Structure formats: structure tokens, C-alpha cells
Amino acid sequence: MHMWSLCTHTHTVSDLCATGDHDCQQVCISTPGSYKCACKDGFILMDDGRTCSACSNAAIDTVFVIDGSKSVRPENFELVKKWINQIIDKLDVSDSKTHVGLVQYSSTVRTEFPLGRYNNKKDLKEAVKKMDYMERGTMTGMALRHTVDSVFAQGARPGVQKVAIVFTDGRSQDYIGEAAKKAKEHGLKMYAVGVGNALESELKQIASEPIAEHYFYTADFKAMSQIAKKLQINICNEEDPCECDSLVKFQKKVEDALQALNKKYILYGK
């Protein structure tokens, strides 16, 4: 009878990513004695933990950043919540695909719910409906910083397209330039939606390039359909047509929901 002894070695376990002993399709990340797979920007890791995919099942991390200042008015705030839910209805919400977060800002900023807390439409829409109207000031710069430093920093998935939809109805009471620049430097695709007394100059600072395709403004939501026409997005990148395809579909869904809202928004003289 042979006696086998188990030898334990104290030398460092080899880097499996460096030695090629892995089956990751795109990116290999070393961990002690093992590895995990990741994907390039615009792709998402599939359920097998190895392969990456884009196109129709590409994931998007989306955060709505909503102005809850008193000039919006309670009736219109309810309509904005319906508009958010109309967009959610059209998104491919699930654990592995689209995640949605919600931020409301006024004189302060509040995360209503973080990315990934609700991974089905029913729960998401219920949470949106429960959002209480702050009804105070308009600190848009503070809201943008919070969205980048807190919501996306803590909840975004690596390699997933990050989108923020900023809705405002008035002039910001703080500076937005640096906060908007930082958001774009962190890879956020920024959409700016303004109504009423929102300043076009501020919306343009928030919006991603090409600016004309990422901001919506009107004095009255009834005119939104004309604005939507000039926002037909064409960001196709030959290297990554799938990422482009998912974003074009996303933009179209946002436009459709805005056009549904223009018919209902109640405009007050200010």
C-alpha cells in the first residue's frame, strides 16, 4: 500500500491570465489563484461568465436625474413620473440587461433608488410612482456630481454603457460646467431634457456630443415632436455596430416617450 503525502508549496500561484490558462473571450482579470472574465466597453458578460455580447441584448445602466423644484408644479411632477415609466416600459429591464436608477434633486439631492435594486419593470414602476416631490430649489450641478460620484460609482457594471437622462424646468442655482464635464469624462452618455425656463446654454453643457442630438428643449411640451425630428441619432461606429444599434434603439424609445408626454404636460405661466 502506497502512502501519498500532499505537498503544499509556498511559492506564488502563477498568473493564469498572463499564462493564457483561461477561457475568457475578451478580458481576463487575475484574482489570487484564479481569474474572472470581463468585457470591453459596449459589451456585457453573458451568463456563462466567459463570453461577451452586444447588439439587441446589450446592457445599459440608465439613471434618470429629475428636477423636483417648486416651479415644476405637483401636477406636472406626476406627469414626469409617468414619462419615466413610459420609458421603463420600453427598456429591456433584467438582471443581465438594462438597470435603472433614479435621482431627484431640488435644493438637495436624493437617490430614490440605486442601479440594480429593481430588476423587473413592475417593481421599478412602483418605486417611481412612490417618489415624493421635493418642491424646493434647482441644484443641477450638485445633482450631476452625485450621479457620477455616488450612483454610477457604486452601481454601474464594468464595460456597460452608462446613460444619464437629466430633466429640468429651470435655471440651475449652482454651476454645472465642471460636473457635466466630469460626467462625460467618466464615459456617461448624457441626455438633457428641458422645458419652460430651462436654459438652452445649460442643457448644451450637460448634453453629450454631438450636442444637437442629445438635448431636447421647448418652452412647451406640445412642441416636442418637432424637436424629436432633429434628434435622429446616428452614432454608428464601424468598429462596434452592435453598441450603436442598442443606443439608437434607446434614443428612439426616449423620443417616443417624450412625444407622449408633450400631449399631457400642463404649462403654467411663470
| Helix ranges (DSSP H) in 91-167 | 121-129, 140-146, 153-155
pLDDT at 105 over 90: yes
Cis peptide preceding 210, ω within 30 of 0: yes
Q: Which of 6-15, 171-180, 194-203 has the highest mean pLDDT?
A: 171-180
Nearest of 35, 34, 56, 236 to residue 26 by alpha carbon = 35
- Residue 265 has a pLDDT of 57
Q: Which of 59-63, 101-105, 187-191, 198-202 has the highest mean pLDDT?
A: 101-105
- Residue 119 has a pLDDT of 92
- Residue 153 has a pLDDT of 94
Mean pLDDT of all residues in 184-188: 93
Per-residue pLDDT tens for 130-147? 999 999 999 999 999 999
| Helix ranges (DSSP H) in 112-212 | 121-129, 140-146, 153-155, 177-185, 200-206
The residues that bridge with 30 in the sheet, in sequence order, are: 35
Mean pLDDT of all residues in 220-240: 42
Per-residue pLDDT tens for 197-229? 888 899 999 999 888 878 887 776 555 444 434
Q: Which of 89-98, 166-175, 252-261 has the highest mean pLDDT?
A: 166-175
Q: Which of 11-25, 165-179, 247-261 has the highest mean pLDDT?
A: 165-179
pLDDT at 8 over 50: no
Mean pLDDT of all residues in 170-183: 95
pTM value is: 0.68
Confidence band for 20, pLDDT divided at 50, 70 and 90: confident
Judge residue 16's burial from the number of C-beta atoms within 10 Å of its C-beta, 0-12 exposed, 13-18 middle, 19 or more buried. middle
- Residue 266 has a pLDDT of 54
The more confident residue out of 96 and 6 is 96
Confidence band for 259, pLDDT divided at 50, 70 and 90: low
